[in-house]
Amino acid sequence: MSWALRLILAVLAVAFLALQYRLWVGRGSLAEVRHLERQIAEQQAELLVLKERNDALRAEVKDLREGLEAVEARARSELGMIREGETFFQVIEPPVASDDE
């Protein structure tokens, strides 16, 4: 075999090894692509949860702006407010006796 053919084969072998290195280990490798795909899937799942939360908040804001029923229900549950003419009853349950006594 001539020295020119050996030189061409050596250059081709080095180029092949360099491309294989980049494919398996270097920047843009298959492992990096899989890692990035996993990150994308996680972020899409998180985005879906946040979109659902935003939709619920948007619906609640719409209810609070448009309807008095939502405002009244929130005032009753969170602030303990009652309507005029209503009577408020507070039921206090006795403490539960423990078995240790």
Domain ranges in the chain are 3-79
Rounded Cα–Cα distance for residues 1 and 95 (Å)? 99
Query: 30: pLDDT confidence band, cut at 50, 70 and 90?
Result: confident
Rounded Cα–Cα distance for residues 21 and 27 (Å)? 10
Rounded Cα–Cα distance for residues 33 and 35 (Å)? 5
Rounded Cα–Cα distance for residues 47 and 67 (Å)? 30
Rounded mean pLDDT of the chain? Answer: 85
Q: Is the pLDDT of residue 101 over 60?
A: no
How do residues 48-97 score in pLDDT, each as one tens digit? 999 999 999 998 888 778 877 777 887 888 888 888 888 877 788 888 88
With 0.75 as the threshold, say if the pTM is over it.
no
Q: Which of 4-13, 20-29, 50-59 has the lowest mean pLDDT?
A: 20-29
